Amino acid sequence: MFNPFLSKFFYVWRVKFLKIFWALFLVGIACFTLFFYMLNAEYFGSLPNFEELENPESSLATEIISTDGVIIGKYYTQNRSNVDYSHLPQNLRQALLATEDVRFEEHAGIDFRALLRTLFSGGTKGGASTITQQLAKNLFPRERLNKFQLVIRKFKEWIIATRLEHSYTKQEIFAMYLNTVEFSDNAFGIKSAAQTYFGKPVDSLKVEESAVLVGMLKAPYQYNPRLHPQASFNRRNVVLAQMHKYDFLTKTQFDTLSKKPIALNFQPQTHESGLAPYFREYLRLWLKDYLEKNKKPDGTSYNLYRDGLRIYVTLDSRLQRYAEEAQEQHLSELQKIFFEHWKDKDPWKDFKKEWEAIYTHCERYKDMHEGGLNRSEIDKVMTTPVKMKIFAYGGDKDTLMTPADSLRYYHMILQNGFMAIDPANGYIRAWAGGMDYRYFQFDHVNINTKRQVGSTFKPFVYATAIRDKGYSPCFKVPNQPVTFEAGDPRFGLLQDWTPKNSDNKYGGMLTLKEALANSINTVTAYLMHEMTPDAVIQLARNMGISSEIPAQPSIALGSADISLFEMVGAYATFANNGVYTQPIFVTRIEDRNGNVVGEFTAQQKEVFNENTNYTMVELLRGVVQHGTGVRLRYKYKLPGDIIGKTGTTSNYADGWFIGATPHLVAGSWTGCDDRYIRFRAMQYGQGATMALPVWAYFFQRVLNDSTHFAADFNAKDVFPIPEDLNPSLFDCNKYNQNTGTKKVGNDYD
């Protein structure tokens, strides 16, 4: 039955309700608008300005880039490197879109459709945060916030997202997001993640690999394929399902890929891992000094670990790898011989003071001593076997050993330093400073690491004599002891000194070519006696050797301590027509935007004329053809034009070989860190046994690598003969000792 009173009542309330509703709605709109205005006007805290949006702060790793374009290392607090959109594979882009923001190309930073869907579904149908919003959160991270501040922060990210959309293209936003995301295992950004988990550049990722990495974004630790393989597998398949849902994958592709196990190739990036760790540490210290002196345009200092510098170095990653492989190939075998050589013998028997210094200065001893333990208590701990992991070739070894024995073990590990250089431009191509940087940080290539050089110094004596005296390679010298008398003002000795040959054999006449080839001490002593130490030292200085060299005749036999770095640089003069080229290891430094911070070229200086230099080439060639370096031919079968010199020091503490082909010079040193730990016989203690094999194994790899080095290091290349030099001067069957000594020299000047 119709009731007019009720009808009027409901009508009045409906009108009131609508008025209230619209009033509240309009007030809500006004409040919301005012709220956003106040946010935008920074009433609730600052927002990033245009400059900050254009140049957002992010911690980028400094990359070390070899001449063949390989990143051989990084310096970082966060292992993050940027990648351009063009290097993101299509499957990675599709995986991210399907999982995180399928309408990315359609919205302007905020996806209101997804937002409404989330509100009405209570969040059960996924989140509404867009890639741009997530980028805003990554670029300007949230601090510790209460609930109200968190709401404010969320709306701020909306504003930042819309500003980002106005400042960058969609492709730039997409790449920036993937560069800012955080993974596990110290991998920041997609580029580092691809290398860490799959050992490959990002543009080589397969579909299923991209799905694993995209799946990790939701919870990096929870979906870490190394730590939680099943959870990662399930999450990957969710990503693949999303790709199928949005037609990025067919049903067949999805079914096939979702059954595949995760093929992890885990390669964690650490400062100690990767190629050339000794070089990278030397470079780090050099960069620290350089960047302190060369600041940013605004006057502030560069941060090596955060500013994303690109350091272009002279190393070639392939040559560096060959150097490290050659080291391990030889030293792994030589170490077995060395241990057998000292089996049942105590190398510290005659060096008790040295052993006591090693023992009492080790970290374990010092920690116990500082903790209040007395000597007997410490000795008990140091002589009690414990489980430990030790260095071993082929991989670390678990063993039971006393701490004292572990000290003895590590001090008996033979070390090797190896360096290769391009003689024409001074580029250091390989730098291998030791056997394993994790265990042995002492760098045996470093210019500050000095070892006695032995007979590798003799070519400087010969070169001085040839340059200053005009001697021919065929000039003959009696193989008889030479005495440097006390009181001779040229030498400043307090007592007579008569050097001996290593084999104690004398007699006859030897040409300079024969004498250097067989490293005859008496002939080198004769040449030194004809000159002065100062003349030889000055030549060494002109060839780049800055180490202290005493003005004593004993330097002729290599008594001076000089670094491998300097020696290889000096020998490069012989391979470069008598022109010394300063070794360099950096060509260019760029900032994160590609602006040049510094560029570097090698300085050069002529030391000999071409004729004098080629005479030295002929002498050093004889070492390899029929002298102490002949193993390169008969044992290691190395072809081509090779020059070089072996070196062995007192009591076999150091073994050397420095040699060159026309386009590459390399030096190898082998010995223990403690000079009194050494071989006890010439059979193993000579440079031809200790050091030369590393050189040989390196060049075997180089010369056999026709793919990369056929043009640069061809076995058919020869050292060029100067046009005005008569080759018959090197034919000792025709050389006249009585008339040729000075006359030949005049032809060289």
- Report residue 280 as tokens: 């990278």
Q: So what's the pLDDT on residue 349?
A: 86
566 pLDDT exceeds 50?
Answer: yes
Q: What is the pLDDT of residue 745?
A: 35
pLDDT band at 539 (very low <50, low <70, confident <90, very high): very high
> First and final CA of the chain: distance in angstroms?
134
Task: Give the model's confidence band at 231: pLDDT under 50 very low, under 70 low, under 90 confident, else very high.
Answer: very high
Rounded to an integer, the average pLDDT of 495-517 is: 93
Residue with the bigger pLDDT between 571 and 730: it is: 571
Model confidence at 169, pLDDT cuts 50, 70, 90, reads: confident
Q: Go through the chain and tell me how many residues it has.
A: 749
Report the alpha-carbon distance of residue 42 to residue 287 in Å, rounded.
41
Partners of 497 in the beta sheet?
484
Tell me the pLDDT band of 283, cut-offs 50, 70 and 90.
Answer: very high
Task: Kindly state the tokens that stand for 186.
Answer: 């110290």
pLDDT, average across residues 701-708: 85
Residue 29 — very low, low, confident or very high, per pLDDT cuts 50/70/90?
low
Question: Residues 131, 173: contact at Cβ < 8 Å?
Answer: yes
DSSP secondary structure string for all residues of 208-270:
HHHHHHHHHTT-TTTT-TTT-HHHHHHHHHHHHHHHHHTTSS-HHHHHHHHHSPP--------
Q: What is the pLDDT of residues 316-359, one digit of tens each?
A: 999 999 999 999 999 999 999 999 999 888 888 889 999 999 99
Lowest mean pLDDT among 427-436, 626-635, 704-713: 704-713
Q: Which residues of 673-703 are buried (b: 16+ CB within 10 A; e: fewer)?
A: ebeebbbeeeebbbbbbbbbbbbbbbbbbbb
For 47-64, give one letter per residue: b (16+ CB within 10 A) or e: bbeeeebeebebbbbbbb
Per-residue confidence band for 748, with pLDDT thresholds at 50, 70 and 90: very low
Confidence of residue 401 (pLDDT cuts 50, 70, 90): very high
If you average pLDDT over residues 305-317, what whole number do you get? 95
Name the nearest CA neighbour of 569 among 434, 467, 428.
428
Give the model confidence (pLDDT) of 194-229 as tens digits: 999 998 999 999 999 999 999 999 999 999 999 999
The CA distance from 236 to 213, in Å, is 8
Pick the more confident residue, 742 or 529.
Answer: 529
Calpha distance 442→296 (Å, rounded): 33
Identify the CA nearest to 102 among candidates 120, 119, 126, 138: 126
Our measurement of the distance from residue 91's CA atom to the centroid of its chain's CA atoms, rounded to an integer in Å, reads 32
Between 120 and 466, name the one with better pLDDT.
466
Mean pLDDT computed over every residue of the chain: 87
Lowest mean pLDDT among 81-90, 143-152, 369-378, 398-407: 143-152
HEC states along 569-586? HHHCCHHHCCEEECCECE
Q: For 236-275, what is each residue's pLDDT tens digit?
A: 999 999 999 999 999 999 999 999 999 999 988 777 778 9
Strand (E) or helix (H) holding 386:
strand 386-390
Q: What is the DSSP letter of 301?
A: P
**Can you give the pLDDT at residue 742?**
36
CA angle, residues 740, 746, 749, in degrees to nearest 5: 145
Helix (H) or strand (E) holding 313: strand 310-313
Query: In the prediction, which pLDDT does 666 show?
Result: 98
C-alpha closest to that of 206 among 196, 194, 216 = 194
Confidence at residue 406, expressed as pLDDT on a 0 to 100 scale: 94
- Secondary structure in 3-state letters for 387-409: EEEECCCCCCEEEEECHHHHHHH
Name the token pair of 299.
């006057």
Of 472-476, 596-600, 727-731, which has the strongest mean pLDDT?
A: 596-600
Q: CB-based contacts of 689: which residues, under 8 Å, 6+ apart?
A: 334, 655, 683
Q: Give percent of the chain with pLDDT exceeding 70.
A: 85
Which is nearest to 660 in space by CA: 617, 703, 690, 604? 617
The fraction of the chain above a pLDDT of 90, given in percent, is 66
pLDDT at 728: 76
Q: How many CB atoms lie within 10 A of CB 334?
A: 22
CA distance linking residue 568 with residue 570, whole number of Å: 5
Ramachandran bin of 372, using left for φ above 0, alpha for ψ from -120 to 50, beta for the remaining angles: left
Token pair of 258, please?
């979702």
Higher pLDDT, 420 or 169: 420
Q: Phi and psi (nearest 5°) for 96?
A: -70, -45
* Backbone angles phi and psi of 49, in degrees to 5: -85, -175
The string of DSSP letters for 415-484 reads EEEEEEE-TTT-BEEEEE-SS-TTT----SSSTT--EE-GGGGHHHHHHHHHHHH---TT-EEE-S---B
CA dihedral 118, 173, 139, 48 (to 10 degrees): -100
Q: How far apart are CA 17 and CA 503, in angstroms?
A: 116
The pairing of beta strand 604-606 with beta strand 664-671: unpaired
Q: What is the pLDDT of residue 43?
A: 47
